[in-house]
Structure 1
């Protein structure tokens, strides 16, 4: 579509209450009931209003969608729905029947209605039907009953929507939920055009943007899909999702979505990291983004080239989130506020994949704190002083965010480290061959070592932070990064020594 065409079209803008919040829609271990309740508290505090329950690995949400909830499960869901209401969060129950439903079978439709009726009895008033990540080939019975896959989905969605009394919030996730899935394009997709024409107007449509994990979402792209769907979409945003790569974690700010999008959308729901506690930044910065137009331009912030939004600065939003997150790190989740960290050869050690199983030797392993009622140990003259954990700092969290930033972008410090490492690698032979380049190489190698040491110190302070729940979610990631930079740092130091030795031999031979 040409730019001229897009300017002629009247955009479909969002109306009514702007949906904002979190979708628990990832593949992996679902969050606990306690974590979800904590999420509702945070959403209320930060001004978000919606939670979409859609964990892919809840069997009764997806694989065994026909099965009703047992008594114990029902009690948990009722408690969760009640907790959401207490914190002014709209609880949206999603069900995903697309793996094996026969759309043309009345018994299947009845089973779907029966399941949603049960959840409605729990106190739920908002619902969602999801048809994402499924096969598009219809069974023979459905091919006879419906002219297309889209017609089958729309028919059952409209019927369920009316059966439930046309809820104020009812979300539909299409199988073609992003631009790259649309054939041959968004505007010419017969699937999307059918959805736009046939889906009842009170049903909102979920959309992830240009891709499943979208780098940027432009106003023009939303106007385009809105014209096809005949309604403003609700963005299901995977910018912080990490279920597709278990070695990555995303702690950068919500960005590359201009606030000019807000009047063009019905809402935004973030589908964040699988780990609950590291999502503090993702959800906090989304809340800042949602409020930005109402609060006006950010103050006391110089915007960089990539920060052109007059209402929202990702860097300022990140700093606000990390400042609040630091308080969470420093609050204890241990009874009585006591934290026990084992010391081995003067280093703090936590259980985890970084540490081999260690034999317990009384002479080498002492608890940091003890409840035995003994007098505190005082080192004698000439002995090592007692280990004292340094407190975590805001700079530590900024470094942590830089190292685990966003899917398409590293943080500033991470970029600098990668650039320096690349330079050191490419210039090592020249430094060994030319004396005048040796000093520069070794100087930059020392600066790189200092950056690596900062990562190690961040790891140590994180490991001693009082809030262990956050740490346990982060531990595998920070352990890996610490091991990686430690290895690279030692390698650069060794290369520097080799270069100095080579230059020393050259001078000796010249003499």
Structure 2
């Protein structure tokens, strides 16, 4: 695919950066990449493997004859598939910018690559020290001036290459001091870098969760040209235990006409990048004239929907798993390797058939699209787990927090809680079984090359899931397998992380980047009764947390917040931190007293007679503060004789719904005849 950027006559660059730290891809993998890029409509490959010695550490050294042949073959293969091969070099570790011999060495190296047939280049100054040597300080007024001077000289030496990319040292907003718009470094780049040179940019951060149109417009103004995005959303070289198989997302398609290109720098392992590259290609084909895709990934009229793109990618990937990559092994219909007759094995020429009382032959179950969907959801994206992974974490968190329910007595209340615990434990066990089945089917997939790239990750997740499963079984009174018992003297696979894990668990910030559990409290919270002076702050918080669309439907809880209804005794509490009021919880012991008509079924009100409304500000990172607030209201309702409480939430208030589900203190109730836009959560007291 070849898009033209509306800001210039240049081709819109779309494709892949091999720019990670670790073992570079092989020549054969790169050739396969070019075939896939051509098939999917991508047009660019940026050669920048950090651990290729002659790309970075020994950038001055020319290529040997053997290395020349390999690069010539690679550049030719890219051309054959209409992929622009961009050769990148990273001299920033030790170059002296003011030394003409250094600049000459750089020109000579790139001239050699020109002789191989390469017509596009990149000069990278990322991940280096920002302090200039004494000689450079005498020549250049700033680090930016030094880099731009050398870059401009090289660009002119190469005589108008097809594409020329410059990666600044401040390549994301987080590195800009004090900000993008006020960065003297970026302003120098924008003002002095020659117009034919494009600038690489990773977004707000090195690994950006979202890249907004506004942020790109801001950096475009400073750089005086639209950037090329070097996207690290699927990069995993910073954490050997993580892999990212989720879709390209949180980049609105309105970005397409505002950029010079998008290149993904994906997982170190080649084969798992099928999804990252495939979904990027789908995004690049999307119409930017349509209404934009939402930043939470849901389709709002755009041609691009992340979940649909993921399913398209996984459907195509499933075919690859079925292609055997061992030509000397043919497979029978059962999926078992079948030996060809040979002189070395004359004793047995017929395939073994077990007798009626013998074990049947093992038959591998075929991998399914559901298996790959589960795999992607377990290894999703840096800032979010997939739906199944989140569901498993929520269930385990609830089962652990309510473990005492597994041994409750036979009373109506206790029996109901125990039944719920057993049902949720079974649901968790079923999800764990699905992970094990997925692991087994993947392990038997004909394409061993893909399997070997995935194996360490799927083995690790299977082991972790098995330990969690054993723990839940022990809570429920069932004996887990001896090898999975968590004791004071476990097997080595019973604890994770090695020395790195030991360090993390000893540090005070351990866990504050966890995607499921919120970071530990860094403030002191106060829970106290509500006073008349709090009324304005409560109303302000309520309005701030709800958009106009959310306020269109009136609920009973709104009347408690607005003061039209008086909460029951000791059921009006507020949460405060050092910035002021940041949450509240109000409740009515008898919700019927506030109803003008039968708003809720009689059967529901019999089990959940009380009503609570609760809200917390997003600046409250510690779920324990909200838990204590809600637990105090629950205690007051019990003292008033209530046996259950329900809470009204607007269905489009996703933040509060997810927050309450994460707390595990309330669960969604199935209630017939609810008004539109309403979700009811509740619990027995």
| TM tier, smaller | 0.7 to 0.9
SS at match of 1:327: helix
Kept after mapping to 1: 8 A contact 2:144/2:189: yes
- Deviation for aligned residue 1:498: 5.7
- Taking the aligned partners of 2:331 and 2:135, their CA distance within structure 1 comes to 62
2:430 corresponds to which of 450, 457, 469? 450
Kept after mapping to 2: 8 A contact 1:322/1:397: yes
Kept after mapping to 2: 8 A contact 1:14/1:264: no
The one of the two structures with greater contact order (alpha-carbon pairs below 8 A, sep at least 6) is 1
Structure label with greater radius of gyration: 2
Name the counterpart of 1:172. 166
- Taking the aligned partners of 1:150 and 1:127, their CA distance within structure 2 comes to 20
1:307 corresponds to which of 295, 299, 304? 299
- Taking the aligned partners of 2:438 and 2:240, their CA distance within structure 1 comes to 22
Name the counterpart of 2:467. 487
Kept after mapping to 2: 8 A contact 1:392/1:465: yes
1:229 corresponds to which of 223, 234, 239? 223
- Deviation for aligned residue 1:304: 8.0
Kept after mapping to 1: 8 A contact 2:253/2:286: yes
- Taking the aligned partners of 1:177 and 1:160, their CA distance within structure 2 comes to 20
Kept after mapping to 2: 8 A contact 1:259/1:309: no
Name the counterpart of 2:180. 186
Name the counterpart of 1:352. none
- Taking the aligned partners of 1:493 and 1:295, their CA distance within structure 2 comes to 53
2:400 corresponds to which of 425, 433, 442? 425
- Deviation for aligned residue 1:332: 1.2
Kept after mapping to 2: 8 A contact 1:14/1:265: no
Name the counterpart of 1:195. 189
Name the counterpart of 2:670. none
Name the counterpart of 2:315. 323
2:381 corresponds to which of 406, 413, 421? 406
- Taking the aligned partners of 2:170 and 2:210, their CA distance within structure 1 comes to 18
Relative to the length of structure 2, the TM-score reads 0.65
Name the counterpart of 1:132. 126
- Deviation for aligned residue 1:383: 2.5
Superposed CA deviations along residues 234-275 of structure 1, whole A, max 9, x for unmatched, are 000000000000100000000000000000000000000000
For structure 1, list consecutive stretches of 5 or more residues without a partner in the other structure: 1-11, 341-347, 349-366, 500-511
Q: 1:302 to 1:294 in 2, by over 3 A?
A: closer
- Deviation for aligned residue 1:369: 3.9
- Taking the aligned partners of 2:416 and 2:110, their CA distance within structure 1 comes to 75
- Taking the aligned partners of 2:278 and 2:445, their CA distance within structure 1 comes to 21
1:56 corresponds to which of 29, 50, 60? 50
Kept after mapping to 2: 8 A contact 1:15/1:266: no
Name the counterpart of 2:537. none
Higher helix share: 1
SS at match of 1:20: strand
- Deviation for aligned residue 1:16: 2.6
Aligned residues between the structures: 462
Superposed CA deviations along residues 353-406 of structure 1, whole A, max 9, x for unmatched, are xxxxxxxxxxxxxx8544445322222233221110011100000000000000
Name the counterpart of 1:24. 18
Name the counterpart of 1:397. 372
- Deviation for aligned residue 1:459: 0.6
- Taking the aligned partners of 1:291 and 1:24, their CA distance within structure 2 comes to 22
Name the counterpart of 2:330. 338
- Taking the aligned partners of 1:217 and 1:243, their CA distance within structure 2 comes to 21
Superposed CA deviations along residues 314-342 of structure 1, whole A, max 9, x for unmatched, are 001000000000010111111145369xx
Kept after mapping to 1: 8 A contact 2:257/2:288: no
Name the counterpart of 2:103. 109
Are 1:146 and 2:140 matched, yes or no?
Answer: yes
Kept after mapping to 2: 8 A contact 1:303/1:313: no
1:154-303 equivalent positions in 2, closer than 5 A:
154-293=148-287
More divergent stretch after superposition (166-175 vs 204-213):
166-175
Q: 1:284 to 1:241 in 2, by over 3 A?
A: same
SS at match of 1:335: coil
For structure 2, list consecutive stretches of 5 or more residues without a partner in the other structure: 1-5, 409-413, 480-685
- Taking the aligned partners of 1:133 and 1:295, their CA distance within structure 2 comes to 36
- Taking the aligned partners of 1:339 and 1:239, their CA distance within structure 2 comes to 38
Q: 1:395 to 1:49 in 2, by over 3 A?
A: same
Kept after mapping to 1: 8 A contact 2:406/2:475: no
- Taking the aligned partners of 1:254 and 1:58, their CA distance within structure 2 comes to 27
Superposed CA deviations along residues 117-172 of structure 1, whole A, max 9, x for unmatched, are 00000000000000000000000000000000000000000000000002130000
- Deviation for aligned residue 1:306: 3.7
Q: 1:303 to 1:171 in 2, by over 3 A?
A: closer
- Deviation for aligned residue 1:456: 0.5
